[in-house]
Structure 1
Amino acid sequence: MVYHSVAQVPKEFKKNWESTPQTVQARVGLDTLIYDSVRINLLDLGYFDVNFLDVDWNGNLGAYDFGLERILYFPKSDYMNIKEYGDGEGRGPREFMNAYDLKFDKNQNIWLTDVGEGRISQWSKEGELLQIFPPSKKYVLPARLAVCDNNTLFVISEQYSNDGFYQHIGLDGKHLKSFKKVDNHFFQFPSYSDGELDCDQQGALYHAGIYREYIRKYDYEGNLVFSRSVVDFEPNPKDLIKEEKEGLFGKWYTRIENIRRASGDVVVQDGLIYVGFSGKKPGEAYLGMIDVYSSTDGEYKYSFTFPYRTQEFTILNDRVYTLEFDENEDLYLAVYRLPKFRLLTEGIR
């Protein structure tokens, strides 16, 4: 079913966390990503629990290994000469308690949020610890992270702050602004910190919510530009909320795992938003997709499919970098290309 305006969409589609639904109710495209040249078995190299994949403007990759509790740096030369940064688990300046997100800045430095220590650290591409922002009541437990080209950061706080859970911060650690307050925040579940963040060249913030099933755009000042649904294509067969429980702060909830949902991975480039979509079909692994939206209004455009079950992805120009699993559940780092005719259709170079 294709709707030509939001006003035509039936009421039952509009109940999606106060987000405007998509006018198209079925995916289009579904071209499979094209293998490029790189597919490395990370388990063979001793890396078992890798996450938070990101790419700098030169094609070098960064990630985090929860088995080693270290930052991983993959030089573009062959991605095999992997460097490890940090000193493992702990509370020292070069140690980590609960890493939560990793991003590059425009100077190829690495930024990491540590929700366990309530701090943000910056590392050079050679592994030198450049600075640490100490705990602050303004960004209590920094979780999801976006590093913008205008020398600012956006962070979602894992712990609720009365000022709002989005925090805008300078690269020197100066707090610039908080926004998006939540009423009755202990009753807000799924968690508002689920998902992933990215910025565009104008410093606008994009948030793809995992369990809230939305993509949102905020301008530099924190004003909401749009909030759009991402689940109209395949509504989940089960309610997201499993049951209510009484806890220390009142009602709490259990969420149902292994259902189709937006994965939270989000990359913004060339006027498009690339959002990962993951989950499982009954009885089999669900490979997942990249759904593509307009960064102007959040309107859906088309989709790509992953050739393997994908845990993480990031994009630079027409290259898609993934952390994926094969049929034996071995973890791989792989590089793909976006199909050319889709790029030409959208005018992407």
Structure 2
Amino acid sequence: MGCEEDTEIKNGQNYQSFWQSLPQEVEKRSNKGILTVNDSLLLSERYDILDTSSLKINGDNLYIEDQAQQKIYAIDKHTLNQKASISISEGRGPRELTRLGSFDVASETVVISSINMQKIQIWNTDGSFRDEFRYKNLHPRRIRLNSNNNMVILSNFFFVDGERNLIQVINSDGNPVSGFGKVSKENYSSLKAEGHMLVDDQDNVYYAGYSEHIFKKWDPEGNLIFSVKSIDNYPSEANYAKMEGANQKISRYLEHAYFNAVGSTIYKNKWLIIHGGSNSKSNQSKIDIYNRNNGKYLFTVELPNKTGHIAADDQYLFVIHKIENEKYLFEYNIDF
């Protein structure tokens, strides 16, 4: 599952290996302790949200995805009152999805992707439907919106024949605009390409690997700004198992795989990464803080409970926690 890496990092579009990266020169974490809780509430009790799977922030609103009910809730971040919701019918017909996938919100627009249906839906934030289209061979694992309302897609192909761009930009009509993050047949794996993607207010694109401990950033034109490893210098090839038969190839994560980013968000000049770690039974979550401009590790803070969903504004860190099989929305003071 591993790939041979070139010895030289190359800037721009002609970057040789998607997984090639420079090491972090840090011996251990600098831990600043546990963040202070400002407020919390039980999601099922307040909003009847049953199964939260994603959290976004846009202006004055939080957006929470509930896969169990195929809904996205808009909640005022100041009053915590529900303002609107988007309900998607389950199915394979028009305006339907078999399962909610990744979503994003910017200005008055909500986009939702379905990787198994290869479909993208566009909604207004008031809950009214706008448009949908299918995009053959896009495989939209993550979807984000930039300032032009173009959609930035992280693809998750089952296999790659030749060379492909993992990150593709399309417009609201579904037409291609650009692509970058090139991978080849020799060094691609759908497991290795799992990760989290962000787009900042200047349309820079960030990628944090899930089982590959890498962080990458591109400018709006797709030129590579940096590609660095996280501070966890583990051999990522030890995360995967591969079995090949006469007619099939099966890849999976090993039981004791060591995971990198299980979630991320941008806060001012910092990139916050929820550290995945191994399959430990610790009830706390570590958030590693990196410089968003160069990928350099800064320090670590902790949360008292596990999470994979965070979003930040200038004052608070919003987090979804699972505590004794119940989902809670927490608001933490950001004091760093």
TM-score if structure 1 supplies the norm length? 0.81
Q: Which residue number in structure 1 is paired with residue 330 of structure 2?
A: 334
**2:115 is the alignment partner of 1:115:** yes
Correspondences of 1:80-99 after superposition (within 5 Å): 80-81=81-82, 83-99=84-100
Match of 1:47 in 2: 49
State the alpha-carbon separation in 1 of the partners of residues 46 and 59 from structure 2. 28
Identify, as 1 or 2, the structure richer in strand.
2
Alpha-carbon RMSD: 2.8
The aligned counterpart of 1:128 is 128
Q: State how 1:258-273 maps to structure 2 within 5 Å.
A: 259-273=257-271
Secondary structure of the structure 1 residue equivalent to 2:134? coil
Q: Secondary structure at the match of 1:296?
A: coil
The CA deviation string for residues 28-79 of structure 1, in whole angstroms up to 9 with x for no partner, is 1333122122322436754332112101122x11122121122222233543
Residue 322 of structure 1, aligned match among 316, 319, 324:
319
The alignment's TM-score, normalised by the length of structure 2, stands at 0.83
Structure 2 CA distance for partners of 1:248 and 1:146, relative to 1, 3 Å: farther
- Counterpart pick for 1:145 among 135, 139, 143: 143
Match of 2:40 in 1: 38
Task: Write the letter of the residue equivalent to 1:174.
Answer: N
Matched residues, number? 316
Name the SS for the 1:103 alignment partner.
strand
Equivalent residue number for residue 169 of structure 1: 170
1:22 positional shift: 0.9
Q: Give the letter aligned to residue 317 of structure 1.
A: D
Cα deviation for residue 217 of structure 1 reads 0.5
Q: Alpha carbons of 1:118 and 1:81: their partners in 2 closer, same or farther (altered >3 Å)?
A: same
1:303 paired to 2:277: no
Name the SS of the counterpart of 2:59 in structure 1: coil
Deviation string for 1:192-228 (max 9, x for gaps)?
1x11111223211101111112110112121222111
- What amino acid is the match of 2:207? H
Equivalent residues in 2 for 1:1-349 (5 A)?
A: 17-42=19-44, 45-58=47-60, 60-76=61-77, 78-81=79-82, 83-105=84-106, 107-132=107-132, 134-137=133-136, 140-159=138-157, 162-184=163-185, 188-192=189-193, 194-232=194-232, 235=234, 239-241=238-240, 243-246=241-244, 251-256=249-254, 259-279=257-277, 282=280, 284-326=281-323, 328-339=324-335, 342=336
1:141-192 C-alpha deviation (Å, 9 max, x unpaired): 2121222224332101222675412101234433111223322268525241
Asked if 2 retains the 8 angstrom alpha-carbon contact of 1:150 and 1:201, the reply is no
Q: Counterpart of 2:7?
A: none
The equivalent of 2:4 in structure 1 is: none
In structure 1, distance between residues paired with 2:212 and 2:300: 20
Structure 1 residue 118: deviation in Å?
1.1
- Contact 1:278/1:286 (8 A) holds in 2: no
Which has the larger displacement, 89-98 or 118-127? 89-98
Identity percentage of aligned residues: 21
1:283-305 deviations in whole A, cap 9, x for unaligned? x2342222111122110011111
